[in-house]
Amino acid sequence: MKRTVTHLADGRELIYFDSDDTVVRVEQDRRELPPPPPTSEIRYDPILDEWVAIAAHRQTRTFLPPTDECPLCPSTPDRSSEVPAYDYDVAVFENRFPSFSHRSGSLAAVSGLTEVTPGHGRCEVVCFTSDHNSSFAALTPERVRLVMEAWADRTAELSALDDVEQVFCFENRGEAIGVTLHHPHGQIYAYPFVTPRTRRMLSSARSYEGGNLFADVLAAERAAGERIVAQNEHWTAFVPAAARWPYEVHLYPNRQVPDLPALSNEERDAFGPVYLELLRRFDGLFGFPMPYISAWHQAPVRLDRDLSYLHLQLFSTQRAPGKLKYLAGSESAMGVFINDVRPEQATQQLREVAL
C-alpha cells in the first residue's frame, strides 16, 4: 500500500491510499475555492447530559447532484472535483462542510444554562472507489482491505489530536437513510467528546459483574448459534437478541480489541469476505439495493479502553418492500424502540438469501 498526502485548493488535506506502490500522485486542485468554514459550536444539554453540534454552514452542502457533477468522482481535463486525480483507489479528504473542525471561529452568546464551546474535531470523507456506479458490496476483498487500512490509519492519526475524544467511521447508503451523494463513500467523525451511545454502553460494561460484557455477549451468541448470520476464523456476525431495527447485524472480531488500528493483519484480511457476504445478504432480501447504516463502534481515545470491544453495527430502516421503519413517537420522544420484525425471523431471512 502507498499513502500519499496532498492538499486541495482551499488548504484541506487529501490522502490517497493506493494498492500500487509505484503510483505517483502529482495532480493539483485547479479550482478557486473560498476558505473552509470556521468550526461549528457545540452546546451542552444539561437535561440529557449530551452535547449538540450547531453547524449552520451545512445547510448549503451539496445535495443529490447529477452524476456528471458528482464531487467525489475523479477529476477530468474538463472538470475538477474534490479528488484532483483522474483515477484513484481510495481517497480520504477533509469534508468541505464539516460538523467539527480545527478551524477557529467566533461563538454566539447564548442565554440560559447551556454551555457553548467550539466544535473542535475533524470530519473526513472516505471514497471507496472511483467508480460512481459501484457500491461497497461490489468491491473486491482486496479493495476492502485497502479501505480497512484507510480506516485504521485515520483512526490512529485523528486519535492523536488534542481535542479528539472518539473516532467514528461509518457509511450511510441510500436516499431512505438520508444520503446526499450517491457515489460510494463513507465518513469519519472525530468528536470532541465521547458520544452518548458509547458512554451508555461503557456504563453497562463497567457495572457488569461477569468478565467483559461485550465478550460474554459474543460468546453466548456463538454458543447458541440461533442468530448467527455469517462467520469465519476471525469474525462473527449475528442479529442481536434485542435488535432495534428490522434488519440489524453486529459483526465482532473473535478477539477483543479496542479499535481498528489494533486489528492484526490476519483479522484485517478476514474482514472483507465476511462483511461482503453480509452486504450481499442485505441486498438480496428484497431484490433491490438495501438502504443501510454501517457504523464502527470503537473505544474512546482516553477512557475505558480496557472495557471496549470493537464491533460493526449494520442496520437498515427497510422493514419490507415499499415500507420503511420511521422513528415516530415512542422511538423519537422516549427512546423506546418497537421492532416490527422478530430478530430470529430476520436471521432466518438473511440466511436464506441465495448468494
Looking at residue 115, its pLDDT comes to 92
Give the mean model confidence (pLDDT) for residues 172-177. Answer: 96
Same fold, 2-195 and 197-352: yes
Instruction: Let me know: does 100 contact 120? Beta carbons within 8 Å.
Output: yes
Instruction: Let me know: does 228 contact 332? Beta carbons within 8 Å.
Output: no
Give the mean model confidence (pLDDT) for residues 218-239. Answer: 98
Helices assigned H by DSSP within the chain = 141-159, 196-207, 213-224, 265-284, 343-352
Q: What average pLDDT is seen over the chain?
A: 96
Name the residue ranges covered by the structural domains of the chain.
2-195, 197-352
132 is in an annotated binding site: yes
183 is in an annotated binding site: yes
Active site residues: 185
Please provide residue 193's backbone torsions phi and psi, each rounded to the nearest 5 degrees: -155, 165
What's the fold here for domain 2-195?
A: HIT family, subunit A (3.30.428)
Q: Which CATH superfamily is domain 197-352 in?
A: HIT-like (3.30.428.10)
57 is in an annotated binding site: no
Give the mean model confidence (pLDDT) for residues 326-348. Answer: 97
123 is in an annotated binding site: no
Is the pLDDT assigned to residue 314 strictly greater than 80? Answer: yes
Give the mean model confidence (pLDDT) for residues 176-197. Answer: 97
Residue 106 pLDDT level (bands cut at 50, 70, 90)? confident
CA–CA gap between residue 237 and residue 227 (Å, rounded): 9
- pLDDT per position as a tens digit, 107-165: 877 888 899 999 999 999 999 999 999 999 999 999 999 999 999 999 999 999 999 99
